[in-house]
Structure 1
Amino acid sequence: MLPKQDLNTNDLETNMIVLVHGGGFGAWCWYKTISLLEDSGFRVNAVDLTGSGIHSYDTNKIGSLTQYIEPLTSYLESLGDDEKVILVGHDFGGACISYAMEMFPSKVAKAVFLCAAMLKNGHSAFDMFQQQIDTNGTLQRAQEFVYYNGKDRPPTAINIDKSSLRDLLFNQSPSKDVSLASVSMRPIPFAPVLEKLTLTDENYGSVRRFYVETTEDNAIPLHLQQGMCESSPPEKVLRLRGSDHAPFFSRPQALHRALVEIAAVPPPVQASSSSSSSS
């Protein structure tokens, strides 16, 4: 890890990092990352999306991606005109930060997709997970659909079977973190996962994207992560060796180094800056 004195976060384009959890998770999953980043001088906000973590909303009643990510968009809306953040999205959080990038491109300095759904225009997270379900028996066995409105209606949420959690998500994580997850995870709302994103070059495409791969990931395997990077190349790809789908548990120091490295990438040189010298 970088010694604290080697990094002055006040010299960075922004020292504000917003952590966006994946499906079923909540702000609680980032506890190690929050501590490490704050110790390095960053200002960190980990959000609970609607019906996640301690957000007290019924997951089965979430009908859209807009509703699901309202806590994130409200936060971005509250930022000052000159404030920018680095968005970090994990898992389904990748689709969530993509939506936010489309809405608030001027408020996002960089976007980090952490073993996340990095989708193209017109695609949904379900499209990506369907590829995985077709080839992965673990994922198929692990998910349980919830039919809150009756079996004759579409599913309203997805539960991950507790007995499958370790194999699917936490195969390299410490036991105490698996225990934390087993009592903290909540159902994943189904409607947002189905929703196809509208992403434009002018908005979403104007934000600098970075991807962080996880090599021992059973939920979104490396080949699927690489496929997303190939079809929509980010500015840079970093790799966390030995990490499962929860790098904030299994490789917290390596994840911290990756996030600091991305934060330290300087902003693009503005062509007009040379003409702004004082007289």
Structure 2
Amino acid sequence: MSSTTKPTIVLVHGAWHGSWCWRFQIPALEALGYAVEAVDLPCVSGVAGTTQFDDAAHNHRHLWVNASSSLAHSYAGPIASAAIKGLSEKGVLGMVALCAYMFPGGMDQGAVIRDIGDLPYVTWNMPSEGLFQTKDPRSLFFPPDVPAERVDWAVSQLRPQSMAANMGIVPPQAWQDDSYIGRLGYIRCTADVVIPIEQQDGMVLGAGGQENWVVRTLEGSGHSPFLSRPHEVAVALDEIVNAFETKV
């Protein structure tokens, strides 16, 4: 890849969201010279039984493009990490997690959720069997920095999620092998309600720490900086991608 060519950024949304959530992020990335593609994962298609493996396979197909990289939000951390596995030699540069979960391949998420006594902020089998929703997305996803009019718009777009996607097995993860050492990024959000900063840091540490991850921080940002601070997200991603390119 030449020094003047930027990778295509494949945007991977979190649970209950869709490609719509990147509405303000896309122009901020394009302004920095990136081509952008936003995917819609099968987990929010309204089909019960859809798993992380289905989502990762869908994302994998979109990454089959030379010189591409992922920006993955929340639930999509393990999805994007699974999707890039085996694609380093195909030109995939790496992945950037945006206040995202990082779980080891083979982990049984359903068992973990049962062990911690369920997720109090969701309603299972709603609006139908095998799907689930958040009880109060306004106070979960958007504080403290998303403007009220954008919150109203985003809440109206949220869709039920497949329970199997969150209660199943995590696919094999690219960060657990050597292919992408130095080409993994994490954007921390210090005011996140969904994944508190201590948990974000713990997951990065558990996935190899700052020896393996290029880390940037959005001070005071909540769980949805693509709605509140898209320019800052774009700048952080650009810095991380530039660091990746020194490792190719």
Q: Does residue 15 of structure 2 align to residue 67 of structure 1?
A: no
Q: Does residue 204 of structure 2 align to residue 229 of structure 1?
A: yes
Matched position secondary structure for 1:59: coil
Separation (CA, whole Å) in 1 of partners of 2:201 and 2:192: 12
Within the candidate set 2, 15, 23, 2:15 is matched to: 23
2:63 maps to amino acid: L
1:262 paired residue number: 240
Q: Does residue 143 of structure 2 align to residue 143 of structure 1?
A: no
Q: Is the 1:218–1:245 contact (alpha carbons within 8 Å) kept by the matching residues of 2?
A: yes
Q: Is the 2:52–2:171 contact (alpha carbons within 8 Å) kept by the matching residues of 1?
A: no
Instruction: Give the C-alpha shift of residue 267 in structure 1.
Output: 2.6
Structure 1 gaps of 5+ residues are: 1-8, 151-155, 271-279
Within the candidate set 100, 104, 115, 1:116 is matched to: 100
Within the candidate set 150, 165, 171, 2:137 is matched to: 165
Separation (CA, whole Å) in 1 of partners of 2:114 and 2:74: 14
Residue by residue over 1:39-65, the C-alpha shift from the partner in whole angstroms, topping out at 9 and shown as x without a partner, is 22110001111153xxxx433242x22
Separation (CA, whole Å) in 1 of partners of 2:128 and 2:151: 31
Residue by residue over 1:124-147, the C-alpha shift from the partner in whole angstroms, topping out at 9 and shown as x without a partner, is 55577678x66xx9x61x311016
Q: So what's the TM-score if we normalise by structure 1? A: 0.76
1:188 paired residue number: 161
Residue by residue over 1:6-50, the C-alpha shift from the partner in whole angstroms, topping out at 9 and shown as x without a partner, is xxx962564211110000111111111101111221100011111
Instruction: Give the C-alpha shift of residue 204 in structure 1.
Output: 4.7
Q: So what's the TM-score if we normalise by structure 2? A: 0.85
Separation (CA, whole Å) in 2 of partners of 1:17 and 1:149: 34
Residue by residue over 1:219-246, the C-alpha shift from the partner in whole angstroms, topping out at 9 and shown as x without a partner, is 0111110110111123221111111111
How many pairs are equivalent?
A: 240
Matched position secondary structure for 2:232: helix
Residue by residue over 1:190-232, the C-alpha shift from the partner in whole angstroms, topping out at 9 and shown as x without a partner, is 212222332367x854122111111111101111101101111
Moved over 6 A (4+): 127-131
2:36 maps to amino acid: V
Q: Is the 1:13–1:267 contact (alpha carbons within 8 Å) kept by the matching residues of 2?
A: no
Instruction: Give the C-alpha shift of residue 70 in structure 1.
Output: 4.0
The structure whose Rg is larger is 1
2:226 paired residue number: 248
Identity %: 28
1:215 paired residue number: 190
1:38 maps to amino acid: E
Structure 2 gaps of 5+ residues are: none
Alignment of 1:46-61 (within 5 A): 46-52=38-44, 57-61=45-49
Matched position secondary structure for 1:242: coil
Separation (CA, whole Å) in 2 of partners of 1:241 and 1:10: 33
Residues 148 and 253 of structure 1, relative CA distance in 2, 3 Å threshold: closer
1:46 maps to amino acid: A
Taking only aligned residues, the RMSD between alpha carbons, in angstroms, comes to 2.8
Separation (CA, whole Å) in 2 of partners of 1:128 and 1:261: 34
